[in-house]
Each structure stands twice: as structure tokens, then as C-alpha cells.
Amino acid sequence: MLKRNWLHALAVMACALTLTACGGSDDNECTTTSDCKGTPPSGQVYQCINNTCQLRPVPTPTCSPECASNEVCDGSSGTGVCKTCTATQGCTSPLVCDTAANGGKGVCRACSDTSNNGTDQGCSAAAPVCDPAGNNGVGVCKACQDTASGGAVDSGCSVSTPMCNPAANNGAGLCTACVDSAEGNGQDLGCSTSSPVCDPTSASGVGACKTCLDSATGTDTDTGCTAAAPLCNTSANGGRGVCTACRDTATGTGTDSGCADTAPICDPTANNGAGACKSCVDSATGTGTDTGCGATTPLCDATGNNGAGACKACLDNATGTGTDLGCTSLAALCDPAAASGVGACRACLNTSSSSADLGCSAPTDICDTAANNSVGACKVCLGDNEGCSGNQTCNAAGTACEGCADDSECSNPSTPVCKPPPPVSICVECTTNANCAATRPVCDSATNFCGCTSDEQCASAPGNTDYCDTTVNNSRGQCTECLTDAHCAGNPSRKFCDNRMACIQCRGNADCSVGQVCNASKSCQADPAVDPAATSAQIQAFLDAPVGTLTPPLTISNGFVTYIKPLVGTDDAGFFVQAQPDGPAMFVAVDATTHQLQVGDRITFSVGAVTALSGGLEAATSITNLTIGSRGHPVQNLNTATPAGLAADRSSASDLQTNVIAGYESELVRLTGTIASALNASGTGHVGYNITTAGMTTAAGTFRLRVPDTFPDALDIVQTCNFTLKAGPVWRFTSGTTPVNQSQPSAYYVSDLTFFGCPAPKVLTAAARSLTQVVLTFDRRIDPSTVLSNGSQFTFSNGLTASAVQVTARQISLTTSEQTAGADYTVTVADTVKDLNGTGVAAPTNTATFRGYRVPATLRISEVGPTMASNADMVELVAVTAGTVDGFLLQQDINSPVTLSTFPNASVAAGDIIVVHIAPPAGYASETTGKAQFPASATPINYDTAWDFAGGTTGITYSSRLIVLKDSAGTIQDAVPFANTTGTPPAAFVGNLQALQAAGQWLPADCGGNPCTFTTVPSALDVAADWTGLPSSNADRTSNTVRRITANDTNMRADWGVGAPTWGAPNP
């Protein structure tokens, strides 16, 4: 027994050493393969051979009967099966086997549908989706396939472009934002009811939903429009289009599109923005010549000709004896029927047979229309004795009736006194002051008319009419209660002077508190239509409603339009509605011009839907039945002011961020605080500043003043400035997986903001533009009213003097005595020169040095490397003309620029190349005497074929930016906008590009007729030079750069391309 166990152990050991598997009885290792235990190595199996377990290759299954010549035997299942192809055999490259086709036997195709979201077998990233039915069943790779229903995401597409147009791209398909699927004006796939029409050509063929398309010829009806408004204005409504009755397309008085010769001018503002054809349009200010009119009849009467307009010499638009448009004070009244209906100005008009004619007053109350070359003159009587009684006759001048015996024969109440001869007896108004009334207290002995000539005469008379108005009573003077508002200042309840006659409480609704109206007696009274609490409850019901359609629509009654938000960037245009200072308030995402709304309107409307905007704020949409109940209410006044408005001062509130949704969203606020950060991107076309107030003492990115991106430059907004937002809405932006609310008090009009306590303006540079002109550049806009025209606020060294001054924004141009070319000068500016906030220039930043005028070179940017290691970026320029480059500035961006380099005092020849080295090594110096002053052998970063200049320490930002070159006087010589299409571009890029286009330095000058933005077609990124293909970081001198690839500078994108560097050498 012991011997058997020992022999068995030896056998097991032998099995292990020989890599065989042992099993079976004690005498035989195995009798069948199943006796072999253990796991064989990969690709092998155990077999029982001669009662021993031995390793053999995995046998290849065979097919029985044998497969046909065009088939292969697939043994992957362990059993041979005849198939057309498998994943590894049967197909010749580049064909692949669709193993599921042909009942599982497989079919050789160009591609196979193997992936749900990635790249199918046989396809590429550019065309990742296999259409197995394409190419007669062989299959074809496509960019996408129409696989989903409705607006769901098709195979190969994304959420932003979810729909596959399988016919596009030569049949390879194209993912689009929408598909032109409906007939006529029906709603296309992927579009909404407000923008139902898909423009498949928009956005480089991706498509965009529009209100309408310019699809028809001439005046035929465009897609999305109707016969009443058949023409699509594709540039309106943020590029989505608006249907109009006509288009302002012609120059001057030419016939506009949609109009006829009889009414050739399109008024695009008429008919609620749909436009209307007119004979003329009231387009000019005051008495300027309106469109469609001429010099003799310059004024368009918009109501004339059944609303089509009629050109007139004057318009009867003033009240009473006020001066009508087109007339003067000497002949103030327009007679619209005169001159065959075009009107004529008169001194008076024959309007009454029983009382004073218009323009006249007793006793000269009769208008002699034939006098003064038909201009008219006011008289006591006329040649036909009108105005006289009995046998009296009118004298030749019309100033009196002659032939009275005593007062009893002077029956005209305006001339009740008989003045005896000499020369003849006449009826007059007075012979002494006793004959005059308190409002005309003094009798003029020369004319025998009552009147006044001074306030003292009126103050001495009975009553409260203490001021003499010498312009009335046919210029004889009349005492009145007031002439100006200052005369009413003693009575706060009646503080306005009405038409130089009487003190009143209100001139219109703007003089009454919100909730009141100015009545016919010019007093404020409560408006019976207004119930602020009820309106607030309706607004709150809207705010509480879920996103989606409201059935039935929710009515908002008698709310006030507190603020109108224009279309800026990708934000919706709209208006804010509120009823009480403490809210609640709501935002209506409908352009206010659609309903011709104004701030201060009291409106009623129905809301059909609640729409969540980007950032989470919920807006009212699908607005119907909007009516305007009254206008002109002072809603933007403080609620504590007189008259009271709806703006509440929230400067002391400490919960403007934490309670923004429930407490402040969309409400009108006044805010005083401090700019506590540099500008931050805040959505397309917007920037934001962290701010602090008395209540919000800690600056944070969740509480920002939000403004259009044009404001920083226009208002010189910088950190540490104090500001007052006079009246603006509180916007909200919510983001993050864990939602964080950013409270954004907002301003869209420059007049909404005032700034104070900003840093004093600094003199940045001084540069000579000629031997008798020097231009000073400041960091802030200068108030022209603080600069004396004689130049006495500017003093110079070396005997130079200034004699004349011109102020333009941040520059002051000085006319000087003759300079010595190349001589050093210092200019000092007096502290009486102030910025727009009233802060004066202060030492030590009130001086600058410059050299006497020398001819400047003209340079052109030729190559840029923005991603060098350690910020050692480089910019190459070429000299187009010879001259000095002293004081030239190389900058990044135009608005809020960053200086990359200030050029040294060097003179270059035409064709010379300059290489600017940003963030150079310590001790690096610019070349000023020659291109090989510091040769590359000693300074390895230099180029002996170019002037090498030192840059500053700040490198170029590799996003969407501008590289700008200015001469020493601050004039842009060259600039290039560069676009990086990866990532989110900085919001400020749009404003910088627009400024460059406005300066005439980049083409196209706009994008489809609109200022270029990220959403226009083409977009701001589309028109900029593309430097996307550069290394993202750590580039070196051998890395690709962006450089000019055309010989001519066309100021266009096509001038530039990414490729191998040519530093220090001409290109192209």
C-alpha cells in the first residue's frame, strides 16, 4: 500500500515536469480526454494519447460537407459553419465583413454598422457612420444618417446640430440645426413657432431657424411672409428676419423695394415695424428737409395724403399762438390751406367774427390778412370799418375808430374811451392807467394801449400776476403769474409754469407719482384703472407658473414698463414689467419695438408661455392682446422721490445675491457702489464687474454690474471707480452642477450710469505729428469744456509754446511754435484739464517727453508667434516706408489694450524687418543703431537680418485677440484680428473687432450688414485671420507661426495662414 502511493506521487511529479496532465486510473494516466485535468496554455488543448494527457494545438473545426469556393469555414463557435465571410476572412481589404447580414452568413461591404456613437468599422472620424444599404448594398461611410424621429438626435450628430440632411455633402450627409421640411410657411423640423423657417444655407450650411427668408424676386412674397408684409428683412431681429411691407433700399428719394412711384419711400418704423410706403417721411430734426421733400416744402406732414405723407412749407403743430413748425416768432402761425395746401406762415389768422382772431388780442383783435404782404397784422379795425360802431370810420393804420363825441359812442369794449382831438376824436383803450386792468396796468400815452414793460409795474398792480410777459398782447406786454418754473418755486404743489401763464401741479403724467395721472385741469389724481396689489399678484402668478405653455393665457393688467432691454449679443431683447417698488417684477422676452413700447407705459397683455432663458431666468413669451393704457409715467424715479417712481435704492441691501430670485430678480433698482475688479466676460456682447456696496461689502463673482462690452471704453470704467446705477433691472445667471446664482444689476444705456472717484487721468504719451503739432494721449477721456482754446494749460521745456488746442476723446492735439527736429522736449499739463468725471490731471503723471518731429516709418505686421515657452512670444514687422519708429506701440487689443512693446529711438529703411522679442532674457537691449548692433553670435535670440527690439514682460494671449501697431501719435498703422476657434472666445473680441472695422483697418467692414458678433453670418470668428493650428504652448523658434501669405495687404483673413516660420526673412 505504501509502495502504490509512492509510485503515484512520482507519476504526478512527472506529469508536472513534462507539462502533461494526469488523470484516469492509477495504472493509466487517462483513458479519455476528459480525464485530463487543469487549464491548458492559450491556443492549446489536452488530448488523451496512449493513455497519457498530451498538449496539442487547438484543432480547427472543419465544415462538413465542405464549403463552396466562395465561402469560408467559420469555426469560432467550435463547430464549422460555412459563411460568406467572417471578421477575419473572406473579404479583400478595404472591404469588411458585415457578420450579421445575410442571415448571419455575412456580406462583404465597404463598412459595417458596429458602433452606437463612435466610428463604425471601415469608416473614419470625418465620416464615422456606416450606411449598410448605400452603394447598392456594399455600404458607404457618411457624416451622419437620418435615424431619429422629429427633432431627436440623428446618428452621427450632436445636440446643437441634431438633424442629418442625408443629401448634403455629395450624399455623405451633413448634421444641421434644422431641416427645410415643411411646405410654404409651415414649421420646419427643428424650428419653433416664433422662428419657423429653416434657412439651410445659414451658418456655413449648418442651418438656422428664421422668421422669414428672402426667397422671392422683386416684390413677390418671401417665405415666411404674407401678402400684407411680403418682404423679408433678413438682417432684422438678430438676423432671424422680419416680414415687412417694404424695405428702405433706395438712396435719397429713389423708389424703395415694395413701393411705387406715387409713394416711393419706405418708412420702416410704420405699421408696428412692418413698414409702409409713403410719399415722404418725417426724418429730419426741426425744420430740416425731410426725406421725399424739397427746399420750398421741406416738412413732411405724416398724416397727409391719407397717411402717405405730404410735403408742406409749414405744419400747424403748436397750441394756440405757439410757433408752428416751419415758422418764426414774427409769423408764428401756419395756415395749412394757404399756397394751394402746402401752407404759409402768418402773423395772424382770421378765425372768429365775435372774439379775437388767432394771433391777436384786444384791443387789436382783428386780423388784417392782406397786410404785410399777406403775412397779416393785428388791428383795432379794418378799412371796411369792421371794429367800429355807428358812423365811426377806421383810420388808415387800423389803430383806432375816428369820430366819437364821448365815451358812450365807443361801443367796442376793447376801445371804450373817447379821446378828444387833436387831431380828431378817436375811440381808444385808455388815456390813463385808471382805464387799464390789473393784468395790463399801464397806459402807453403814445399808443393809448394798455400793457406793461417791467415786472415792477405788474408787482405794483393788484393780484398775483407779478411778472410782465412782453411777448404777448401783440408785444404790448401783459402781467402773468409766471414766466418760468422758478417763479413757481414757492408753491411745491404747483411748481411748473404752464405756457408762461399760470403755476400748475403737472404738465403730464411724468410730473405725477406712478399710479396717478395728470388730468385736464393739470392736477395729479389717482388713476382709477390702477390696482398695484392686484397687478403684483398677477406677476407673482406668472413667476410661480412652470416652464411651458400657459392654458389659458395669464393676463397682466396695468403693469408699468420699467426698462427696455435692447438686443445685445445673444441675449433676448425685451422689457421689464412691475407695479410696486418692492416687486415682484417680470421680464417679457419680446422686442419692445414690436409694440412701440416706451419706458413709463402702463400696459395690459396676455402671456401664453413661460420660457427658461440661458442662465435660468424665466421670461414671458407668446404675448397677445397688448394694449397701452397711458404713457409717460416716471417709473425710473426713486420710490421716495417727488413724484414717486418704482426704482428702489438697494445700496444698503445685504441679500442682493442670496435672495436674488425671490427678492430682486427683474426689479428696478438704484445702486451706488465701487468697481472692485477688472472686467469679466459676461455672455456674448457683455462684460461684468465685481462690485461692492454699503450692504454687499465683499467683492465676489456672484455679484456683478453687467453692461454691454462697449461701455468700458465709452465710460472709462476701471477698478476703484465709484458708480451710481440710476435705474436698472436685476438680471440673474445660474450655473453649475450645484446651482449658483449670479446677481447682475444691469445697465444698457450710457445715461444709466454715473462714475465718480475714479483715478486721475494720466498723460500716457506725447508725440510730434509735425514741426508745429504735438498730440498728447491720456488714459481717460478728457472733458473738452475744461480745456482752454489758447493752449495756456500746457507748458513746454526748451522754449516751445502752444497756441491752439483740439480735444478728441483721450487725445489733445496742440498747435506749437516750430520744434527742432529730434530735440528733446517735456510737456506739463495743468490740473485744470479734467476727465468726464471732473477729476483733474495730477502730478507726477501730468508730464511726458517727446522729440521734435521726424518723419515716421510706416510698418506692417508680418508674422506672429503667440505661444512661445516662458511668454517669450515674437512679432515680426516690415517697414513699408522709411522713417523713425521712436515711440511706436505694439499692443494686444484696442479696447483695454495691453502693451506688448514700446519701440526705441531707431530709424529704419524701407524693406527693413523688425523682430520684437517679448519677455526677453535679463539685460537684453533693443538695437537702435543697426540690424547687427547685437549679433546673433553674442545674442542668440537675435536675427542679424532684422532689427531686434525688446518687448515687455506680458506675453500674447492665445485666444481670439487683436495685434495692433500704433505710431507715436496713437494712430493705428496696422492691426490683425486673430481667431482661435477652440474653446470659448473672450467676450471682448467682438468689440475689439468692431472698433478695428470702424477704424477702416479690417474687411469686411461688417457681417451681412450688421456689426459682427459671434452669431452673425459670417461671424466675428469667420472674418478674422485664423491662427487655430498653432502649437497651444511651449513653441520655439522652429515651430509653426501665423504669417502673411500674400504680397498685398488687403486687410482680410485671406492675407494670413499658419505654416513654417520665416523669422527675420521676407514673407511671402
pLDDT tens digits, one per residue of 782-837 = 999 999 999 999 999 999 999 999 999 999 999 999 999 999 999 999 999 999 99
Q: Which residue has the higher pLDDT, 710 or 691?
A: 691
Q: Cis before residue 1031, ω within 30 degrees of 0?
A: no
Distances (CA, A) of 690 to 40, 723, 730: 70, 12, 14
Q: Which residue has the higher pLDDT, 355 or 596?
A: 596
C-alpha 146/C-alpha 163 separation (Å) is 7
Residue 890 pairs with which residues in a beta bridge? 901, 965
- The pLDDT value given to residue 1042: 97
* 18 band by pLDDT with thresholds 50, 70 and 90: very low
With vertex at residue 306, the alpha carbon angle to CA 303 and CA 308, rounded to the nearest 5 degrees, is 70
Distances (CA, A) of 386 to 391, 397, 404, 886: 12, 13, 16, 86
* 116 band by pLDDT with thresholds 50, 70 and 90: low
Question: Of the ranges 316-325, 877-886, 923-932, which one carries the lowest mean pLDDT score?
Answer: 316-325
Residue 726 reports pLDDT greater than 90:
yes
Return the beta strands (E) in 136-218 as ranges: 140-142, 163-165, 174-176, 197-199, 208-210
Hey, is 408 helix, strand or coil?
helix
C-alpha 203/C-alpha 239 separation (Å) is 11
**Would you state the torsion angle of the CA atoms of residues 285, 291, 293, 297, taken in this order, to the nearest 10 degrees?**
-10
- The pLDDT value given to residue 25: 45
* 117 band by pLDDT with thresholds 50, 70 and 90: low
CATH entry 2.60.40.1220 includes domain 763-851: yes
* 688 band by pLDDT with thresholds 50, 70 and 90: very high
Taking Cα atoms as reference points, which of 594, 647, 600 lies closest to residue 621?
594
- The pLDDT value given to residue 89: 86
Q: Which residue has the higher pLDDT, 1048 or 617?
A: 617
Q: Which residue has the higher pLDDT, 395 or 185?
A: 395
Please tell me the pTM assigned to this model.
0.63
C-alpha 869/C-alpha 867 separation (Å) is 7
Helices (H), 639-769: 711-715
What percent of the chain has pLDDT above 70? Answer: 96
Taking Cα atoms as reference points, which of 250, 283, 284 lies closest to residue 265?
250
Hey, is 745 helix, strand or coil?
strand
- The pLDDT value given to residue 35: 83
Distances (CA, A) of 852 to 775, 778, 811, 882: 12, 20, 18, 17
Q: Cis before residue 65, ω within 30 degrees of 0?
A: yes
Taking Cα atoms as reference points, which of 605, 599, 603 lies closest to residue 630?
603
Map grid coordinates 428664421 to a residue: 210
For 761, what's the count of Cα atoms within 13 Å in the CB-facing half-sphere? 29
* 781 band by pLDDT with thresholds 50, 70 and 90: very high
pLDDT tens digits, one per residue of 1037-1066 = 999 999 999 888 999 999 999 999 999 999
What architecture is the 647-758 domain classified under in CATH? Answer: Beta Barrel (2.40)
Question: Of the ranges 176-185, 577-586, 592-601, 1001-1010, which one carries the lowest mean pLDDT score?
Answer: 176-185
Residue 16 reports pLDDT greater than 80:
no
C-alpha 681/C-alpha 16 separation (Å) is 73
Helix, strand, coil % over all residues of the chain, rounded to 5: 10, 30, 60
DSSP string, 907-971: EE-TT-EEEEESSPPTT-----S-TTSS-TTTSTT--TTSEEEE--S----SSSEEEEEE-TTS-
Taking Cα atoms as reference points, which of 775, 838, 820, 765 lies closest to residue 802?
775
Residue 95 reports pLDDT greater than 70:
yes
How many CB atoms within 10 Å of residue 197?
A: 27
Q: Which residue has the higher pLDDT, 543 or 119?
A: 543
Q: CATH topology for 858-1059? A: Immunoglobulin-like (2.60.40)
Residue 17 reports pLDDT greater than 70:
no
964, 893 contact by CB (below 8 A): yes
Distances (CA, A) of 776 to 146, 716, 765, 785, 827: 64, 17, 6, 17, 9
- The pLDDT value given to residue 108: 87
* 614 band by pLDDT with thresholds 50, 70 and 90: confident
* 399 band by pLDDT with thresholds 50, 70 and 90: very high
**343-368 exposure pattern, b = at least 16 Cβ within 10 A, e = fewer:** bbbbbbbbeeeeebbbbbbbbbbbbb
- The pLDDT value given to residue 444: 96
Question: Of the ranges 115-129, 622-636, 1041-1055, which one carries the lowest mean pLDDT score?
Answer: 115-129
pLDDT tens digits, one per residue of 234-262 = 877 767 788 899 888 887 778 888 898 88
* 12 band by pLDDT with thresholds 50, 70 and 90: very low
181, 143 contact by CB (below 8 A): no
Residue 458 reports pLDDT greater than 60:
yes
pLDDT (mean) for 335-358: 91
Question: Of the ranges 475-489, 598-612, 639-653, 1006-1020, which one carries the lowest mean pLDDT score?
Answer: 1006-1020
pLDDT tens digits, one per residue of 507-535 = 999 999 999 999 999 999 999 999 999 99
Phi, psi (5° rounding) for residue 693? -135, 180
C-alpha 653/C-alpha 146 separation (Å) is 55
Q: State the CATH class of domain 510-637.
A: mainly beta
Distances (CA, A) of 551 to 351, 487, 582, 626, 991: 58, 57, 28, 18, 42
* 4 band by pLDDT with thresholds 50, 70 and 90: very low
C-alpha 383/C-alpha 368 separation (Å) is 9
pLDDT tens digits, one per residue of 67-76 = 888 888 888 7
Taking Cα atoms as reference points, which of 470, 580, 467, 604 lies closest to residue 515?
580
C-alpha 829/C-alpha 179 separation (Å) is 64
704's CB contacts (< 8 A; 6+ apart) are 680, 682, 688, 689, 690, 691, 742, 743, 744, 745
- The pLDDT value given to residue 126: 67
pLDDT tens digits, one per residue of 1004-1016 = 999 988 899 988 8
pLDDT tens digits, one per residue of 152-177 = 778 878 766 788 888 777 777 888 87
Residue 11 reports pLDDT greater than 60:
no
- The pLDDT value given to residue 160: 64
**454-464 exposure pattern, b = at least 16 Cβ within 10 A, e = fewer:** eeebbeebeee
Taking Cα atoms as reference points, which of 741, 781, 532 lies closest to residue 644?
532
Return the beta strands (E) in 231-296 as ranges: 231-233, 242-244, 265-267, 276-278
What percent of the chain has pLDDT above 90? Answer: 66
C-alpha 1013/C-alpha 635 separation (Å) is 33
1042, 976 contact by CB (below 8 A): no
Amino acid of residue 519: N
Hey, is 542 helix, strand or coil?
helix
* 8 band by pLDDT with thresholds 50, 70 and 90: very low
Burial of 955 (0-12, 13-18, 19+ CB in 10 A): buried
Mean pLDDT for the chain? Answer: 90
- The pLDDT value given to residue 204: 63
Question: Of the ranges 157-171, 605-619, 707-721, 1053-1067, which one carries the lowest mean pLDDT score?
Answer: 157-171
Return the beta strands (E) in 223-302 as ranges: 231-233, 242-244, 265-267, 276-278, 299-301
- The pLDDT value given to residue 353: 66
* 21 band by pLDDT with thresholds 50, 70 and 90: very low
pLDDT (mean) for 77-96: 83
What stretch of H or E contains 11? helix 2-17
* 36 band by pLDDT with thresholds 50, 70 and 90: confident
**494-520 exposure pattern, b = at least 16 Cβ within 10 A, e = fewer:** bbbbbebebbbbbbebbbbbbbbbbee
Domains 510-637 and 763-851 share a fold: no
* 962 band by pLDDT with thresholds 50, 70 and 90: very high
- The pLDDT value given to residue 24: 44
C-alpha 874/C-alpha 917 separation (Å) is 5
C-alpha 224/C-alpha 1019 separation (Å) is 24
Taking Cα atoms as reference points, which of 864, 823, 1053 lies closest to residue 965?
864
pLDDT (mean) for 992-999: 94
835, 828 contact by CB (below 8 A): no
Domain ranges (residues) in the chain: 2-57, 432-504, 510-637, 647-758, 763-851, 858-1059
Stated length of the chain: 1068
- The pLDDT value given to residue 152: 74
C-alpha 297/C-alpha 336 separation (Å) is 12
Residue 151 reports pLDDT greater than 60:
yes
Q: Which residue has the higher pLDDT, 452 or 169?
A: 452
What stretch of H or E contains 815? strand 811-816
- The pLDDT value given to residue 747: 98
Dihedral over Cα of 251, 257, 258, 261: its sign: positive
What stretch of H or E contains 901? strand 898-902
pLDDT tens digits, one per residue of 295-311 = 999 999 989 998 899 99
- The pLDDT value given to residue 3: 38
Residue 22 reports pLDDT greater than 60:
no
How many CB atoms within 10 Å of residue 14?
A: 12
- The pLDDT value given to residue 653: 97
Residue 14 reports pLDDT greater than 50:
no
Long-range contacts of 354-362 (CB under 8 A, 24+ apart): 358/320, 358/321, 358/333, 359/321, 359/332, 359/333, 360/474, 361/472, 361/473, 361/474, 361/478, 362/413, 362/414, 362/429
Question: Of the ranges 58-62, 477-481, 596-600, which one carries the lowest mean pLDDT score?
Answer: 58-62
678's CB contacts (< 8 A; 6+ apart) are 689, 719
Question: Of the ranges 23-27, 496-500, 521-525, 621-625, which one carries the lowest mean pLDDT score?
Answer: 23-27
